[in-house]
Amino acid sequence: MLSVGQQVHGKSSVATEIGSSVVISVADGSALKIDGRSEIAFGTEYVENLKRKISVSLLYGKLLFDVQKQAVKDEFEIRTENVSSIVRGTAGFIENVDGLEVSSLKEGRLDVVVKMDTVPSLKSGQTMIANANGVKVLSLSCSGSLILARAIDSIATEMAAEFGVHAARLNLDKVEAKLLEFDDLYKKKADDFMMRSQAAFKPKMLNEYIGKPSVTLEALFVPGTFVSIQGVVDTIPESGMYKRTFEWADSTAFGPKHFVVNCSNGEVEYICHTWHTNFVSAKMAEVLTKADERKSTVVKDTVQPKKLKPSIIIEGSGRERVHVLPEERDIPATLRFSVAGLMGSDLSQIKKIVVKRKGAIVKTYSDDELTTNSFKFPIRLKQNRIAHFEVVATFVNGKKIKAKKVYETYCFFENYEDGKKSNRINDMTAEEEYKNVVSKHLLKNE
């Protein structure tokens, strides 16, 4: 029997009873949730060039995963009897119901190999069902959710009883019809829930760099609703405040970390936010954080759209002032934005996203880069210059949505003797420096 805090080592297995579930935290910050009446087995092996391969075998039941992006040389694999899936920075679930094997993706990409057929990589919002009769890939609004996993379990069990066969022999066309019918009802309920709750989720920003293997996530949301992150479900209290700390065991598992937020009313769910940060050494985090504090003003809470329609949300205010020191002439920054008002399957309707600077395209996202609703683009800013950015998303039907962001970087040189930060002449605030830069016409468009 497992207890809270108990470690699960390689070459071990875990089984859950009906009506129970367990969340397993992986050493790199990933998480696995084993749902009722399921069994998995773990394995870790080292192959050529010290490449580490973590494997999870789902013997039966349901396994939800939220896997962090793996180191270049490492691999995270989830297997059922006939399906092997390579997971990279991905959230969704794998299911094995009496020979009906399912791979379903909420966010990211899944490289799938099926013994009896060839399948292209699964993308956000796609669900693959496979049995002895073949393979089908469906685009479902509920893809990757525990709600869909439990619905498939119920549908497969009922159909198997009706036709007197095992789920491994079910006609996949009939299974598809049942799932599409379920998804139509689900999407209507989800759209209604998103419309009523989307604007209410207000996350507190994370530092871009963290120096210890843990994060504390905070947000405001509707009391009585549910928030699920890495398989851990919390009910929002009357205060409306969500707060939870996530830790991981490997203090050397450096790299980008993401925390996908699922908002739910118990019947439907949607991704209402994704927190991003970078795990680095403690010393590196201290250095980089101090640099960021000098270069940036406080970013305001992300403002979500009030109406249920696709929109681009750029992190921070529409016009952001960045105070820099005299020596800082070339300033690194990150343009973060997300596409709101979409279910996972709707991401396939985006043809491309372009980032423009001064009207010229500097980055295009397309194809495999469109597997998430959250993006970040590294930029460099010049001192005492105004930089204009625009993000444009083009849909398959030709529709476009846009959002703009303006950065103003400023430094009043007369406040520093010989142009050195250590030789500040006057005790002038950043706001006073900005006013002087503007009044003396030192702030110009780049």
Return the residue matching tokens 């500040």: 424
Asked if 201 contacts 273 with a C-beta cutoff of 8 angstroms, the reply is yes
Instruction: Count CA atoms closer than 13 A to 226's CA, side-chain side.
Output: 13
Return the residue matching tokens 């395209």: 361
Asked if 125 contacts 140 with a C-beta cutoff of 8 angstroms, the reply is yes
Query: Which uninterrupted H or E stretch holds 294?
Result: helix 282-295
11 beta partners: none
Residue among 369, 301, 300, 291 nearest 333 (CA): 291
- d(CA 385, CA 409) in angstroms, rounded, equals 6
Residue among 86, 8, 26, 11 nearest 253 (CA): 26
Indicate if the pLDDT at residue 361 is higher than 90. yes
- List pLDDT tens digits, range 10-54: 567 777 777 777 888 777 788 888 887 888 887 766 656 556 677
Return the residue matching tokens 């800082």: 328
- List pLDDT tens digits, range 300-346: 444 443 444 788 888 876 888 988 888 888 888 889 888 877 766 67
The pLDDT assigned to 91 comes to: 87
CA angle 141, 216, 198 (to 5 degrees): 35
- d(CA 203, CA 198) in angstroms, rounded, equals 12
**What does 233-290 look like in DSSP terms, one character per residue?**
EEE--TT-EEEEEEE-S-TT--EEEEEEEEEE-SS-EEEEEEEEEEE--HHHHHHHHH
- What are the structure tokens assigned to 175, written together? 């299974």
What's the whole-number average pLDDT of the chain?
84
The pLDDT assigned to 252 comes to: 83
Q: b vs e for 242-280, b when ≥16 Cβ sit within 10 Å of the residue's Cβ?
A: beeebebeeeebeeebbbbbbbbbeebbbbbbbbbbbbb
User: Mean pLDDT over residues 195-203, rounded?
Assistant: 88
217 beta partners: 244
The pLDDT assigned to 9 comes to: 52
> Phi, psi (5° rounding) for residue 323?
-85, 130
- d(CA 228, CA 231) in angstroms, rounded, equals 6
The pLDDT assigned to 407 comes to: 94
Q: What is the pTM of this model?
A: 0.74
66 beta partners: 31, 91
- Between strands 269-279 and 209-210, the pairing is parallel
**3-class state of residue 203 by DSSP:** strand
Estimate the crossing angle of helix 172-197 against helix 146-163, to 10 degrees.
150
Indicate if the pLDDT at residue 410 is higher than 80. yes
> Phi, psi (5° rounding) for residue 284?
-65, -40
Identify the band that residue 390 occupies on the pLDDT scale cut at 50, 70 and 90. Answer: very high
Query: Which uninterrupted H or E stretch holds 157?
Result: helix 146-163
The pLDDT assigned to 48 comes to: 62
Report the greatest alpha carbon distance in the chain: 87
- List pLDDT tens digits, range 115-130: 866 677 888 899 999 9
- What are the structure tokens assigned to 234, written together? 């919390």
User: Mean pLDDT over residues 385-408, rounded?
Assistant: 94
- CB count in 10 Å sphere of residue 175: 22
Residue among 128, 183, 129, 138 nearest 156 (CA): 129
CA angle 382, 388, 394 (to 5 degrees): 135
- CB count in 10 Å sphere of residue 317: 14
- What are the structure tokens assigned to 276, written together? 């991003």
- CB count in 10 Å sphere of residue 50: 8
